[in-house]
Structure 1
Amino acid sequence: MNPEPPPTAGRNRRTLLLLGAAVGLCLLLGWLAYRLFFGIYLANDRQLSAQRLDAFARSLEATLARHESLPGLLALDPSLAALLREPRNPQRIAAANAYLEAAQQGAAVSVTFLIDAHGETLAASNWQLPRSFVGHNYAFRPYFRDALKDGLGRFYGVGVTTGEPGYFLAAPVRAAGKVLGVIVLKLSLDSMEQALAGAGDTLLLADADGVVFLSSERRLRYRTLAPLPEAVSARLAETRQYGTQPVTPLAAQAILPAANGQPLRLALPGEMARERLIHSRPVGGQGWQVVQLGDPGEARAAALGAASAVVFAAAFLLGLAAHFRHRARRREELRRVYGELEERIAERTADLTEQIAALESTKAILRETRDAAVQAGKLATLGQMSAGISHELNQPLAALQTLADNARALLARGRHDEVGENLQLISELVDRTGRIVRQLKSFARKEAATPQAVTITSAIEHALLIVEPRRREIAARIEITPPATDLLALAEAGRLEQVLVNLLRNGLDAMAGQPEPVLEVSANRHGERVSIHVRDHGAGLADEVRTHLFEPFYTTKPAGEGLGLGLAISLTIVESYGGTLGAHNAPDGGAVFVLTLPAAGEPDAPSDP
C-alpha cells in the first residue's frame, strides 16, 4: 500500500494554489486598470495638446494677417511708381530707398524692397548694407509671380542673398491700371520659433509640402514629415526656397497622427527610437500645419502608478481576507512564541545582569588597584628620598637649637636687640620647616580621582621642593623657563606633582657624577594641549631602554635604588587624564621627557617651546 501524504504537505499545496490564484487575479486587475487609465491620460493629453496648438496657430495667424495689407498700402506711394517709370534716375532711386527704409523701420519688418516687372530689384531698405538686395533678380521667387498674377504673394523661404529665413509678402505697384513692378516686405518669424522652443514638447511648423521650417529644436529644421515626391523636390530646388541645403525626411516613416491616437515609435535625428504622441493642426490658408511630438512617458508612468495602486489594493484586500481567516490559528501560535521569547529574555536578562555586576566589580577592583599603585609609587619615591629629606629637616632643627641657646644666653646678658634678631631667624626656620612638612603631607596624601584645573607653575614649584635634597646632593642646577602666561591643565595636583617628581628625579639621577649637571624644565601651550618638557644632559636613552622604558619593574638603576614602577605609574596617571607621556634623545645629547595634558580655560596668547 502506498503511504498517504502527510497533512502538512496537503496544506502547503493548497496554500500555493490559493496564492497563485490570488497573484493571477491581481495581475489581471492591474492590466485592465492600466489599459483604462492609459486611455484616459492619452485623452487628456490630446485635449491639452489641442489647446496648445490652437493658441500657437491663432497667434501665428494673427501675426501674418496683421502684415498682409501692408504691401498694398506701401505700393500706393508715388515715389515707387516714379522709380519704376524712370529706373535709372538717381533722384528717383534715392527717394525710393529713403521711403522703403522709413517704411521698414516704421512697420518693424526685416526688409522692404522694390522689384520691376522683370524681377530686378531697383531699391531696398538695406541699400546701404554690403548684402543689399539692389541689383539682384528675384523673378524665380513664387511671391513675385503670385503678386503679378493674383495681386498678393505669400512665401516662406531662406533668403538667397542674406541666407536668413523669413516670410515674404508681395503686392503689385500699379500706375494708370498697369502693373509696373512689385513691392516686397520680409518678416522674421524668430519670435514664433522662440514661442515653439518654450512650449516644452517638440513642436514643428511645416509648409504645405510637409517641410519643417520652424521648430522648437533648430536641428530639426528643413526636414520633411514624409518623403517628398520628385516634382516637389524639383520645385524646391528651382525656387531655392530652403537654400542649397538638402531637405531630408525627419524619420524613417511618415510622421502622421495615428488613427487610434496611440503613440508612434520614432527615431529622430541624433536620438534613439522612442514613442511619440503626434498631434497636428492646420495654420492659415497656405496649407501649413503645426505638429507636436509629445512624450507618452508621463501618461504611461501615471497609468502604471494607478495600475500598481489597483494591484496593491487588490492584494491588500485579499491579504486582509486571508489574515482574518487565519487569525485565530496565528494568535495561538504567537501566544506560544511570545511565551518562549519571554522565557529566553528572562534567562538572558539574568545572565546580562550577572555579567554587568561582575564587570562593575572588576572595574572597581581595577580603580582601587590603580589608586593603590599610584599611592605606592608616591611612598616609594618618598622612601628613596628619605635620607635627603631627613637632612633637609635636620639642618633647620639644629639651627633652631643653636639659636634658642644663643637667645637664652643673650637674654641673661640683657642684649635684647640681638635676642629679637635670633627670634626672627627662629620664626623663619620654623616657617621653612613647616612648608617642607606640609608639602610632604600633601604629596603623600591619597586623592580621589577628580580632575580639575591645575596651575602648571605651582605644580613644578612643589615638585622642585621635594627633589631639592637630591639636587643639592649632586650639586645640579635646574633651569626653569616660565611660560608667557599662567598655564592651566586638567589633572589632579598631587598626582601631577608625583609625575613631575619622577621625571625630575630620573633626570637628576641620569646626571649623577657629572661636574656641572644642568636640568631644564619648560612648559607651553599649543591649542587645546599643554606640554611640559624635562630635559637632562646625561648619557641619553639607549634603543633597548626606549623600547622598555614604560614597562613595570624595568629599571637601569642599581639594585635597591628603584623598583622600575615610577614611569609606568606616571604613564597610567597621565593617560587617565587623556594625556600622553613620551621620551626621546636631544640632538646634542641627553634625554627629553615630554608630558602633554588637556588644557583648561581659553588660551591668552600662543607660547612657543
Structure 2
Amino acid sequence: MQTPRPALLRHTLTGALALAAIAAVGWLAYVLALDAGFARMQREGNDRLALIASTFDATVARYRYLPAVLSLADPIRELYRDPHDASATAAANRYLKSLNQGARSAELYVLDSTGLALAASNFDQDSSFVGHNYAFRAYFVDAMRAGEGHYYAVGATTGQPGYFLSHRIVEGGKTLGVAVVKIDLGSLESDWARAGDLVAMEDENGVIFLASREDWKYRPLLPVPAERLAELNAAQQFGQAIDAAPIFVPERDRQRIQIGRARGRGNAELGEYALQVHPHDQGWKLLLFSDVADAKRSAATVAIASVLALVAALLVVLVAWQRRQAIRAKLEAHDVLERRVAERTEELRRTMESLVQSAKLASLGQALAGVAHEINQPLAALITYVASSRVLLRRNEVDRAAANLDLMSSIAERMMALIDHLRMFARKETGTRSAVELAPVIDNAVRLLQYRIDHEHIEVVREAPAEPLHSLANPIRLEQVVVNLLSNAIDAMRDCERRVLQVRLGRRDDSAVIEVGDTGAGIVPEHLKSLFDPFFTTKEIGEGLGLGLSISYGIVREFGGDILVESAPGKGSTFKVVIPVVDVAPVFQQSELQA
C-alpha cells in the first residue's frame, strides 16, 4: 500500500524540520557552553593570576627591605668613610658575602655616588662586581634620583638575569652611594613550568623577560616597531638582541578574553590560546595563556549531550505516536541514555575541578611558606597549652582546663589573623592600623608566654600608668614585637639563678615606651651594633634564624617608632619600644555628641 503523496510530503517536511531543530539545538548548546566555558576560564584565570602575583610579590618582599637594612650596617658605613682603606674594604666584602649566603639572594653589592662598585658578595670570584661602574643601570639612576630603584636585566658582568632592588645611602644630608640586592627569579619560572602553566611576565616595553617557556624569553608579546626595537637593543637590558618575532597573534575577543595563536621557537605555532592579563607594578603585566581546546572539548561534549537528549526526546515522541505499546521500553532507553550523559558530564566536571584545585594548592603552599616564621611562636604556645590542659584534665581541674581552652581559641584566632597578612602582601599593604590601647597588647603577649614564665619560675614585675595609652598601630604586629622581646628575655635567663622579668609601660613626652628587661647574662658590647641585623643570632644552631629582632625593628619603624637596647654583661638587658602616642579623647567626645 503506497503512502498518499500529501502524507509523504508531510512526513518529509516533518523530518527536515526535526533535523533542522536538532542542528539548531546542538549549535546553540555548543555556543552557550563555550561562552560558559570562557566565563569559567576567566574566573579561574583571574584567581590563578592573583595567586601567581601574590607568590611573585612574596618572593620579592623577602628582600625588599634588605638594601635599606644593608645601608645601615657598620661595615658598609666604615667603607664609605674611607673607600681606599683596604681593611675596611675587606671587612665590607666579608660582611656582604656572609649576609648574601644567609639571605639566599643572588648577589649583594654597594656603589659609590658615581656608580663604581666598592664591595660585593662575589668579590673573590672571577665575575666580581668590585671595580666595575654601573652608573648606566636604571636601578642606580632611580635610587640616586628617588631614593629607591627596581630593575630587571641580565647582569652586565655575570651574564646572569636577575631582579635588582636598590636603595640610596645618605649620611648627614650627603649621598654616599647605593646599596643593591640582586634576586634570582629563576625558581619562579621553574615553579610555573612544573605546575603546567603557560605564564609570562611582560615589561613596560612589551618584552617578555620571565616565562615558563624558555623560548618565549626576550621576545615581544605583540609586534614592536623596528625603530623602537632598535632603541631597546641599544640599551642592552637583556645582554642579547631581542627576537622580533611576537609570541602571540590575536584573532578575536570572547567573553572579554583575547583569543589568538601562540608561537614558540622558530615561530612554530603552538595552538589556539586565551590570553588573560594581570597588571603589576612599574608597568609590568603578568600573562596567563589557557588552551582553548579544553573549552571547545567541554562545549562539544555538552552540545553532543544536548543533541542526544533532543534526539532521544524526539524518538520517544515518535515511538509514542507510532506504537503506543512500546512507550515504556523506549522511555527506559531514554532514561538510561540521559543518565549516562549526565554521569559523563559530571565526571568531566569533577576531573576539571580536581586539576584546577591541585594547581591552586601547589602555588598556595609556596605562598603560605612565607608566614611560617610569624606563626612559629603562637603555634609553640598552642602546643604548650594543649599539654597543660591534658595535665589539668587528669587532675580533674576542669575550670583551669576550660580557661586554657579559651586561651587556645584566642591564640588560634591570632594565628588566623597572622596568616591573613599574606593577602595584605598581595595588595602591597603593611597592615591596617588604628588607635590601639597598649596595655591589652602587652597583657595578651604576657598571657601567650605565661606557661613558660610559670614553668621556668620567673618573677614578673609589671608597671603601667593609671591612664590608658594609645598608639596608631596594628595590634597583631605590635603584640608580635612584644612577644619576641619577652621570649628573648626568657631565653636570656635560662641559666640564671635570679630570674626577674620586668615589663613596664610608660609615657615620655609624646611617646609611649614599652620596656622589657631581664636579669640574664647581658649582651657583650661588640654584639650590640649587630642585634638588629638580619640573620644575626647568639643562640645555638637550630634555636633561631636571627630574624626576630630584625623583623620587630622593621615593624616598629613602620609605626613611626624605634627600638633601643641597654645591656650590662652579667646583669641583664632592657629593650625599649618607643612609639608615638595618639590622643583618642576628641574622637570619643565627637561620637558622644553625634549620639
Q: TM-score, normalised by structure 1?
A: 0.50
Task: Give yes or no for contact 2:116–2:134 (8 Å, CA) kept in 1.
Answer: yes
Match of 2:290 in 1: 294
Question: In structure 2, the residue corresponding to 1:41 is in which secondary structure?
Answer: helix
Distance 2:237 2:183 in 1: 15
Is the Cα–Cα contact under 8 Å of residues 38 and 254 in structure 2 kept in the other structure? no
Residue equivalent to 2:98:
102
Does 207-216 or 83-92 show the bigger shift?
Answer: 83-92
Aligned to 1:30: 26
Cα separation, partners in 2 of 1:160 and 1:94, compared to 1, 3 Å: same
Query: In the TM superposition, what whole-angstrom CA distance separates every residue of 1:529-561 from its partner, at most 9, and x where no partner exists?
Result: xxxxxxxxxxxxxxxxxxxxxxxxxxxxxxxxx
Matching residue of 1:325: 321
Mapping of residues 303-452 of structure 1, within 5 Å: 303-327=299-323
The reply on whether 1:274 has 2:274 as its aligned counterpart is no
3-state SS of paired residue (1:148): helix
Q: Which amino acid aligns with 2:20?
A: G
Q: Does 1:137 align with 2:114?
A: no
1:81 touches 1:173 (CA, 8 Å); kept in 2? Answer: no
* Corresponding position of 1:524: none
TM-superposed deviation, 1:288: 1.6
Cα deviation for residue 23 of structure 1 reads 0.8
| Cα pair 1:155 1:169 within 8 Å, conserved | yes
* 1:242 pairs with 2:238: yes
Tell me, in whole angstroms, the C-alpha distance in 1 between the residues paired with 2:188 and 2:325.
72
Aligned residue runs from structure 1 range 439-588, under 5 A: none
Give per-residue Cα distances to partners, 1:35-74, cap 9 Å, x unaligned.
1111111111111111110001111112223322210111
| Paired position in structure 2 for 1:166 | 162
How far apart, in 2, do the equivalents of 1:288 and 1:93 lie?
37
Amino acid at match of 1:264: I
| TM-fit CA distance, 1:306 | 1.1
1:251, CA displacement in angstroms?
Answer: 3.6
CA contact (8 A) 1:110 1:188 kept: yes
Deviation of 1:235 after TM superposition, in Å, equals 5.2
Q: Secondary structure at the match of 1:147?
A: helix
- Residue 106 of structure 1: CA displacement? 2.0
Measure, in 2, the Cα distance between the counterparts of 1:320 and 1:259. Answer: 37
Q: Which runs of 5+ in 2 are unaligned?
A: 328-595
Over 3 Å counting, the alpha-carbon distance change for 1:273 and 1:73 in structure 2 is closer
Distance in 2 of aligned mates of 1:93 and 1:36: 69
Cα deviation digits, residues 177-229 of structure 1 (max 9, x gap): 21121121101112211222133231111112221111111111111122335
SS of 2:206's equivalent in the other structure is coil
Aligned to 1:265: 260
> Which residue identity is paired with 1:218?
E
CA distance in 1, matches of 2:253, 2:302: 25
| Cα root mean square deviation, aligned | 2.6
Higher relative contact order by CA 8 Å / sep ≥ 6: 1 or 2? Answer: 2
> Contact 1:224–1:247 (CA<8 Å) still a contact in 2?
yes
Q: Which moves more between the two structures, 154-163 or 244-253? A: 244-253
CA–CA separation in structure 1 for the residues paired with 2:254 and 2:153: 32
Question: Equivalent residue of 2:210, what SS?
Answer: strand
Taking structure 1 as reference, are residues 330 and 111 closer, same or farther at Cα in structure 2, changes over 3 Å only?
closer
Distance apart, 1:75 and its partner CA: 0.9
Q: 2:88 aligns with which of 84, 88, 92?
A: 92
**Contact persistence 1:227–1:254 (CA under 8 A):** no
Q: Which of residues 70, 74, 77 is equivalent to 2:70?
A: 74
Range moving further from structure 2, 226-235 or 17-26: 226-235
Question: By how many angstroms is 1:11 displaced?
Answer: 5.3
> One-letter code of the match for 1:100?
L
Distance 1:330 1:124 in 2: 89
Question: Rg bigger for which structure?
Answer: 1
Query: What is the alpha-carbon distance in structure 1 between the residues aligned to residue 326 and residue 78 of structure 2?
Result: 106
| 3-state SS of 1:122 partner | strand
How much has 1:13 moved relative to structure 2? Answer: 4.6
Q: Which residue of 2 aligns with 1:205?
A: 201
| C-alpha distance in structure 2 between counterparts of 1:85 and 1:329, whole Å | 105
- For residue 175 of structure 1, report the CA deviation from its aligned partner: 2.8
Change (3 A) 1:147 1:196: same
Going from structure 1 to structure 2, the CA distance change for 1:235 and 1:115 (only over 3 Å counts) comes to: farther
Q: State the shift of 1:279 in Å.
A: 0.9
Shift of 1:252: 6.3
- The residue aligned with 1:62 is 58
Q: 1:62 to 1:220 in 2, by over 3 A?
A: same
Residue of structure 2 in register with 1:468 after alignment = none
The amino acid across from 1:71 in the alignment is P
Q: Letter of the aligned partner of 1:105 in structure 2?
A: Q
Partner of residue 190, structure 1: 186
**In the TM superposition, what whole-angstrom CA distance separates every residue of 1:379-400 from its partner, at most 9, and x where no partner exists?**
xxxxxxxxxxxxxxxxxxxxxx
CA pair 33-263 structure 1, distance change in 2 beyond 3 A: farther
What's 2:550 paired with?
Answer: none
Shift of 1:166: 0.6
Shift, 1:154, TM fit = 0.8
Corresponding residue number in structure 1 for 2:519: none
Distance change in 2, residues 1:251/1:214 (3 Å) = closer
Bigger drift between 199-208 and 128-137 goes to 199-208
Q: Give the Å deviation of 1:156.
A: 0.8
Q: Identity rate of aligned residues, in percent?
A: 34
Deviation at 1:24, TM superposition (A): 0.8
**What CA distance in whole angstroms lies between the structure 1 residues aligned with 2:325 and 2:121?**
95
- 1:89 Cα offset (Å): 2.3
Query: C-alpha separation between the residues in 1 aligned to 2:105 and 2:307?
Result: 60
Query: CA separation in 2, counterparts of 1:140 and 1:239?
Result: 9
Provide the C-alpha distance between the structure 2 equivalents of 1:14 and 1:44, rounded to a whole number of angstroms: 44
Opposite residue 178 of structure 1, the aligned amino acid is: K
1:375-428 deviation per Cα after TM superposition (whole angstroms, max 9, x unaligned): xxxxxxxxxxxxxxxxxxxxxxxxxxxxxxxxxxxxxxxxxxxxxxxxxxxxxx
Do the aligned partners of residues 79 and 196 (structure 1) sit closer, same or farther apart at CA in structure 2, a change above 3 Å counting? same
CA deviations on 1:66-92 (whole Å, 9 max, x unpaired) are 322210111112332332343332112
Deviations 1:423-444 (A, max 9, x none): xxxxxxxxxxxxxxxxxxxxxx
- Cα distance between partner residues in 1 of 2:250 and 2:117: 40
Does the C-alpha gap of structure 1 residues 258 and 15 become closer, same or farther in structure 2, counting only changes over 3 Å?
closer
User: Secondary structure of 2:269's match?
Assistant: coil
Matches within 5 A, 1:214-229: 214-228=210-224
Label 1:215 to 1:104 Cα distance change in 2 as closer, same or farther (>3 A): same
For residues 484-531 of structure 1, what are the alpha-carbon distances to aligned partners after superposition, in whole Å with 9 as ceiling and x for unaligned? xxxxxxxxxxxxxxxxxxxxxxxxxxxxxxxxxxxxxxxxxxxxxxxx
What is the rounded CA distance, in whole Å, between the counterparts of 1:73 and 1:23 in structure 2? 75
Q: Tell me, what secondary structure is at the counterpart of 1:126? A: coil
For this pair of structures, how many residues does the alignment match?
A: 325
Which residue identity lines up with residue 282 of structure 2 in the other structure? Q
1:176 partnered with 2:172: yes
In structure 2, the CA distance between the partners of 1:115 and 1:11, relative to structure 1 (3 Å rule), is same
Retained in 1: the 8 A contact 2:26–2:307?
yes
Structure 1 residues 154, 11: CA separation in 2 closer, same or farther (over 3 Å shift)? same
**How far did 1:139 drift?**
0.8
